[in-house]
């Protein structure tokens, strides 16, 4: 395994031929002088995989910066400032970079000399002065694109790769691995499409102008046609006027013949009908003579039936009344029985009451005087009244005390509500800036019970600065990406949350989980008191409050416990402050300073930026005041509860006194009653005995009443027998009359039906007879009128045609008239139509014809021009189609190859990924793009690679594997990736490294530079791998004194 060390002794000569295995454009040598962390260093990458390893701050990224700037790249590609002079080592005015690139026939050496004072560069190409443009052309000819993220991916741009649009990714891929002409074809197609639209617009305008010209000429053509049409219409009008009287005559003659024929037919029908009427009248009279006696009999029988039915109804009502009368008699007897039983029961009860009263009266002789007991009860009642009055006074005092506490509680609740409204204002700002996070916040509040551990709302809502002036420091230090992040105590809660809101609700949200061991109470590296002489008055952590997990994450990730904040004094002493050890990030009154110190040379580099006003954390809620108010609210609630309990106790005592008072009053009442009860008992006994005597005298004779009841029922039954006999007699009479009436009705129906039929037939024939007589008279009148009309019409027709008779009509006129319609309606309609058309031809002259011929020639010329443009457009579209095939077919093959490699890499990691060519319209060539879709869990679906959906580690893995999928296609001479493995977990990092090692070390692949501060243990390396270990410290030997072989020999001896 070859090993190369930055800073080792290297040749300083001009361009050299690269060794075998280098792809044209590969980097042979990188030389740096006074560049960032280096005084002087030379790096020689290998042909395949190059691992550049070293601690943070040692100068790994300086090599990447040298590659970018040395190959005419812009500083914006690196994301480290906009002035190239900032890359000169601190304290120096001039620095330079020299890069040697392999090229057949002679290597290319590019040197860039950077002047810090005027921020200018001097370029040398193969040792000769050159311009930046010439260098850019040479670099482009070697297919090097440092601005293409698919070829050159700095650490600061790793996150931007996933944020590239599909269109940007396609263009970067075309430039990186496509054939040289592919991107040019793509650009040509986009230009062709634009020109095609222009040509389409020209053709559309020509066609529109031609259509308008045709329409104008069509109007002239119509005028010419109208000029010749008018005479034709006038001639037809003349012929129609000549034929019209002949048609009228022929119609009148035909009508006359029809009337004569119809009149003769009506006369014949009239005579036949008169002969058939006589027998029909005779038969109708015979039937009427039979019906009259039958109807008289039916009427008499109907009267008898009605009378019999009325009598039956009366008898039936009488029977029902007799039944009701018997029932009433029986009910009366039952009531007497019940009354006798109740009477005996009352007598028995009265006797028992008298015996009880006598027994109670006998006991009064043995009882003592109850007066002392009454006095004792009255005294107890007085004491109860006095105690109850005292309790009522205490209850009134407690009620006033409760009212005071209640008013205080409402005031405290209002103050707390005002503070909560300030929190709502923060939520509105979050909603305005990132609606998805606000939607996820609402979901969390509704489903908080789904989570086991603590879940905190976005940091910007739970962080509360202690003073509005501190908000700008906190907000500028913590990224908005984290300010809108949800914080979880447990990792499984975070995964559940992301599954619900990101995968199911498709929301773009951020989430983090706090360290397992709390970092919130970490001590700063130095007490703040030791920094007061520089104007520092507080660490960032002491400027705000946050929940335990949130503060723990900020201390772990942002080291807020070790970021001091100073004032104007700090700014005045800035040079001294920068030299202080352990100072990495600090704030003055209006600026932020970041200090980087090399691990080896101890050199310091700084950057500063102005603080922007706070947008989200400037809404301050005084946490101590809020806690104090909440404590006051709890105290007030406790007092309310205690007062309520006291009042309840007093009310319970008052209720007990009320019950005792009621018992004493009842006892007093009983004692009072006992004193006069003996006299009352004697009076009750006397009254009850008198009542018993009266009840015994008024007894009921039930046997006599039963005998009277039986006699009454027997008399009523005798009356019922007589009524039933009369009822049956009338029923038989009604049945007999009904049957006789039915027989007569059947006979009447037969005769009536026959009579009705004869009358209907006779009525119809009579109406017809009258109608025929009227028709015959009318037809005779019409015949006479039509004879006169025919004579008049014949005379009129002869006069119009200027002839004496029908036989004298000329052959030509007869032929012309025969072609015209033969009905008067058609002739009238045709006349009206021809006159209307003739009236419409006004304002016409011979000039219309001349104008028409001139414009006809113009139309022909325009048609010729349109055909030429249309043919040109067709030819252009054919050329576009050919260019599309030259571009699209290779592109599809290229994307398929990338997709195959990408899918295989993901499959080897037990995940899934795909790459596809994406477009919404195949003709819109500027809308084509590459879509990357990935999934890392079996439970999820493939999702587009974006800056929001996947975690940082997942985005890094996807980016790395896509670059490796491009690596095998090998069009660009080298690829550079800086610290892309920082967000990966160990498992994915190991898998990705195996893929990188396996892919980049193939003979067919190009140079690959992989920069990282660390590597996992026990990784597999290929023989083609080149490892560059970057050493940088004050004790590091000079590159001229470095002996690689001696170093390796000593290492082997130590192991032995």
pLDDT recorded at residue 15:
34
pLDDT at 11: 32
Task: Report pLDDT for 202.
Answer: 79
Tell whether the model's pLDDT for residue 992 goes beyond 80.
Answer: no
Sequence length of the chain is: 1056
Which H, E and C letters describe 180-247, residue by residue?
Answer: HHHHHHHHHHHHHHHHHHHHHHHHHHHHHHHHHHHHHHHHHHHHHHHHHHHHHHHHHHHHHHHHHHHH
Report d(CA 166, CA 543) in Å as an integer.
43
Q: What does the alpha-carbon distance between residue 576 and residue 966 come to, in Å, rounded to a whole number?
A: 49
Query: In the structure, what pLDDT confidence band is assigned to residue 62 with cuts at 50, 70 and 90?
Result: confident
Span 785-802, mean pLDDT?
A: 76
DSSP 276: T
Question: Which pLDDT value is given to residue 3?
Answer: 33
| 3-state secondary structure labels for all residues of 150-182 | CCEECHHHHHHHHHCCHHHHHHHHHHHHCCHHH
- Rounded distance between C-alpha atoms, residue 601 and residue 584, angstroms: 16
d(CA 1010, CA 975): 8
pLDDT band at 19 (very low <50, low <70, confident <90, very high): low
Rounded Cα gap, residues 49 and 1023, in angstroms: 10
Distance from C-alpha of 884 to C-alpha of 922, rounded to nearest angstrom: 10
Which among 98, 10, 8, 5 is positioned nearest to 53, based on CA atoms? 5
- 856 C-beta neighbours (distance < 10 Å), count: 14
The better pLDDT of the pair 230, 740 is held by 740
Cα gap 88→469, rounded to integer Å? 37
pLDDT number for residue 631: 81
- H/E element, 113: strand 108-115
Q: Other CB atoms closer than 10 Å to residue 545's CB: what's the count?
A: 19
Rounded Cα–Cα distance for residues 78 and 147 (Å)? 9
More confident residue, 891 or 156: 891
Kindly tell me if the per-residue pLDDT of 14 is higher than 50.
no
pLDDT at 566: 93
Determine which of 443-447, 491-495, 622-626, 687-691 has the lowest per-residue pLDDT on average: 622-626
3-state SS assignment for residue 115: strand
Is residue 240 within 8 Å of 834, Cβ to Cβ? Answer: yes
- pLDDT of 688 higher than 80: no
**Banded pLDDT at 12 (limits 50, 70, 90):** very low
**H helix or E strand, kind and range, residue 109:** strand 108-115
pLDDT of residue 7: 36
Report CA-CA distances (Å) from 543 to 26, 423, 472, 624, 696.
52, 18, 11, 13, 109
Report the range out of 163-172, 208-217, 244-253, 306-315 with the highest average pLDDT. 306-315
Rg, C-alpha atoms of the chain: 62
Contact between residue 911 and residue 172 where contact means Cβ atoms under 8 Å apart: no
Integer angstrom CA distances of residue 745 from 486, 642, 738: 103, 104, 10
- CA-closest candidate to residue 586, choices 528, 631, 644: 528
Whole-number average pLDDT of the chain:
78
Greater confidence (782 vs 700) lies with 782
Between residues 450 and 846, which one has the greater pLDDT?
A: 450
Half-sphere exposure of 235 (CA within 13 A, CB side): 8
Which residues, in sequence order, are CB contacts of 646 under 8 Å at separation 6+? 398
What is the average per-residue pLDDT within 662-687?
Answer: 71
Structure confidence by residue, pLDDT tens digits, 579-638 = 887 788 899 988 888 888 766 556 777 778 888 888 878 776 666 666 677 788 888 888
**Residue 1, pLDDT score:** 30
Summarised one tens digit per residue, pLDDT across range 559-578 is 999 999 999 888 888 888 88
Q: Answer yes or no: is pLDDT of 917 > 70.
A: yes
What is the mean predicted confidence (pLDDT) over 289-298?
78
Query: How confident is the model over 929-936, as a mean pLDDT?
Result: 83
Q: What is the pLDDT of residues 82-133, one digit of tens each?
A: 678 888 888 888 999 999 998 888 899 999 998 888 888 899 998 888 898 8
Greatest mean pLDDT among 164-173, 358-367, 428-437, 722-731 lies in 428-437
**Alpha-carbon gap, residue 1032 to 599, rounded angstroms:** 7
Q: pLDDT by residue (tens digit) across 817-855? A: 777 777 777 777 777 777 777 776 666 666 766 777 777
Grouping H, G, I as helix, E, B as strand and the rest as coil, residue 501 is helix
Q: Output the 3-class SS for 582-648.
A: CCCEEECCCEEEEEEECCCCCCEEEEEEECCCCCCCCCCCCHHHHHHHHHHHHHHHHHHHHHHHHHH
Select the highest-mean-pLDDT range: 257-261, 415-419, 467-471: 467-471
Cα–Cα distance, 745 to 742 (Å, whole number): 5
Separation CA 505–CA 487 (nearest Å): 19
pLDDT above 60 for 201:
yes
Hey, which bits of 308-410 come out as E strands? none
Of 317-326, 467-476, 752-761, the range with the highest mean pLDDT is: 467-476
The Cα–Cα gap between 207 and 192 comes to 22
Examine the pLDDT at 734 and tell me if it is beyond 50.
Answer: yes
On the CB side of 76, how many CA atoms lie within 13 Å of its CA? 2
Instruction: Please give the pLDDT value at position 17.
Output: 37
Does the pLDDT of residue 343 top 80, yes or no? Answer: no
pLDDT at 1024 over 90: no
Q: Looking at residue 74, what is its pLDDT?
A: 84
Q: How many CA atoms lie within 13 A of 69 on its CB side?
A: 33
């Amino acid at each position: 395994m070859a090993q190369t060390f930055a800073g080792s002794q290297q040749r300083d000569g001009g361009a050299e031929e690269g060794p075998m295995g280098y792809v044209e454009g590969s980097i042979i040598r990188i030389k740096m002088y006074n560049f960032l962390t280096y005084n002087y260093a030379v790096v020689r990458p290998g042909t395949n995989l190059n691992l550049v390893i070293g601690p943070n701050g040692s100068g790994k990224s300086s090599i990447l910066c040298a590659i970018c700037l040395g190959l005419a790249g812009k500083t914006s590609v690196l994301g480290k400032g906009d002035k190239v002079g900032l890359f000169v080592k601190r304290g120096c005015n001039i620095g330079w970079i020299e890069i040697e690139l392999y090229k057949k026939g002679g290597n290319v050496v590019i040197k860039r000399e950077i002047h810090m004072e005027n921020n200018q560069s001097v370029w040398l190409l193969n040792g000769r002065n050159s311009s930046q443009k010439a260098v850019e052309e040479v670099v482009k000819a070697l297919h090097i694109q440092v601005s293409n993220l698919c070829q050159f991916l700095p650490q600061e741009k790793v996150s931007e790769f996933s944020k590239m649009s599909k269109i940007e990714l396609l263009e970067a891929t075309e430039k990186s691995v496509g054939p040289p002409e592919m991107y040019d074809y793509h650009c040509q197609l986009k230009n062709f499409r634009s020109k095609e639209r222009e040509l389409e617009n020209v053709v559309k305008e020509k066609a529109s102008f031609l259509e308008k010209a045709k329409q104008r000429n069509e109007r002239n053509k119509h005028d010419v046609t109208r000029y010749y049409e008018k005479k034709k219409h006038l001639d037809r009008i003349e012929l129609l006027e000549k034929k019209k009287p002949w048609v009228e005559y022929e119609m009148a003659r035909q009508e006359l013949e029809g009337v004569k024929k119809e009149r003769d037919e009506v006369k014949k029908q009239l005579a036949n009908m008169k002969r058939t009427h006589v027998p029909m009248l005779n038969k109708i009279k015979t039937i009427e003579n039979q019906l009259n006696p039958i109807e008289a009999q039916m009427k008499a029988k109907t009267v008898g039936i009605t009378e019999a039915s009325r009598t039956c109804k009366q008898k039936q009502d009488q029977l029902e009344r007799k039944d009701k009368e018997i029932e009433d008699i029986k009910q009366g007897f039952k009531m007497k029985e019940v009354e006798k039983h109740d009477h005996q029961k009352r007598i028995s009860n009265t006797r028992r009451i008298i015996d009880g009263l006598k027994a109670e009266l006998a006991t009064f002789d043995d009882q003592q005087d109850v007066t002392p007991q009454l006095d004792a009860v009255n005294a107890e009642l007085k004491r109860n009244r006095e105690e109850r009055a005292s309790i009522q006074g205490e209850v009134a005092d407690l009620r006033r005390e409760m009212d005071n506490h209640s008013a205080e509680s409402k005031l405290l609740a209002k103050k707390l509500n005002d503070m909560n409204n300030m929190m709502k204002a923060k939520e509105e700002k979050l909603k305005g800036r990132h609606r998805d996070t606000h939607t996820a916040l609402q979901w969390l509040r509704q489903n908080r019970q789904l989570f086991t551990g603590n879940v905190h709302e976005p940091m910007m809502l739970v962080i509360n600065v202690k003073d509005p002036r501190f908000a700008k420091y906190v907000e500028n230090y913590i990224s908005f990406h984290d300010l809108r992040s949800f914080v979880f105590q447990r990792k499984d809660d975070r995964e559940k949350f992301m599954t619900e809101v990101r995968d199911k609700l498709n929301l773009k949200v951020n989430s983090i989980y706090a360290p397992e061991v709390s970092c919130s109470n970490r001590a700063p590296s130095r007490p703040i008191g030791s920094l007061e002489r520089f104007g520092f008055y507080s660490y960032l952590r002491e400027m705000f409050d946050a929940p335990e997990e949130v503060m723990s994450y900020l201390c772990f990730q942002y080291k807020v416990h070790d970021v001091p904040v100073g004032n104007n004094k700090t700014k005045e002493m800035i040079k001294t402050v920068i030299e202080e050890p352990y100072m990495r990030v600090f704030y003055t009154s209006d600026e932020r300073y970041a200090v980087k110190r090399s691990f080896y040379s101890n050199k310091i580099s700084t950057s500063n930026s102005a603080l922007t006003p706070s947008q989200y954390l400037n809404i301050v809620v005084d946490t101590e005041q809020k806690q104090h108010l909440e404590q006051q609210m709890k105290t007030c609630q406790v007092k309310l509860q205690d007062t309520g309990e006291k009042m309840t106790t007093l009310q319970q005592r008052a209720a007990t006194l009320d019950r005792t008072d009621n018992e004493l009053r009842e006892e007093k009442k009983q004692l009072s009653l006992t004193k006069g009860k003996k006299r009352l008992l004697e009076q009750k006994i006397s009254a009850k005995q008198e009542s018993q005597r009266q009840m015994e005298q008024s007894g009921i004779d039930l046997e006599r009443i039963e005998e009277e009841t039986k006699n009454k029922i027997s008399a009523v039954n005798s009356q019922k027998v007589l009524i039933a006999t009369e009822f049956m007699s009338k029923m038989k009479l009604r049945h007999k009359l009904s049957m006789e009436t039915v027989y007569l009705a059947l006979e009447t129906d037969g005769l009536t039906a026959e009579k009705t039929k004869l009358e209907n037939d006779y009525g119809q024939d009579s109406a017809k007879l009258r109608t025929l007589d009227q028709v015959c008279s009318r037809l005779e009148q019409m015949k006479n009128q039509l004879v006169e009309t025919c004579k008049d019409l014949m005379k009129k027709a002869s006069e119009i045609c200027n002839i004496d008779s029908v036989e004298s009509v000329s052959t030509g006129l007869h032929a012309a008239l025969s072609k015209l319609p033969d009905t008067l309606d058609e002739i009238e309609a045709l006349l009206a139509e021809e006159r209307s058309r003739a009236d419409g031809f006004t304002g016409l002259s011979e000039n219309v014809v001349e104008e028409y011929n001139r414009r006809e020639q113009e139309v022909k010329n325009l048609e010729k021009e349109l055909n030429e443009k249309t043919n040109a457009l067709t030819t252009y579209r054919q050329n576009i189609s050919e260019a599309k095939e030259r571009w699209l077919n290779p592109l599809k093959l290229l994307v398929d190859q990338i997709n195959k490699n990408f899918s295989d890499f993901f499959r080897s990691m037990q995940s899934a990924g795909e790459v596809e060519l994406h477009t919404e319209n195949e003709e819109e060539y500027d809308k084509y793009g590459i879509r990357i879709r990935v999934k890392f869990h079996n439970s999820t679906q493939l999702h587009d690679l974006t800056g929001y959906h996947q975690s940082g580690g997942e985005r890094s893995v996807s980016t790395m594997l896509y670059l490796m999928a491009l690596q095998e296609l090998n069009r660009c001479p080298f690829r550079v990736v800086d610290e892309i493995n920082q967000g990966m977990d160990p498992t994915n990092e190991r898998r990705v490294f195996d893929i990188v090692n396996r892919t980049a070390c193939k003979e067919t692949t190009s140079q690959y530079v992989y920069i990282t501060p660390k590597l996992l243990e026990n990784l597999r390396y290929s023989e083609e791998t080149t490892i560059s270990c970057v050493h940088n410290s004050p004790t590091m030997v000079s590159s001229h004194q470095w002996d690689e072989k001696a170093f390796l020999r000593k290492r082997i001896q130590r192991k032995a």
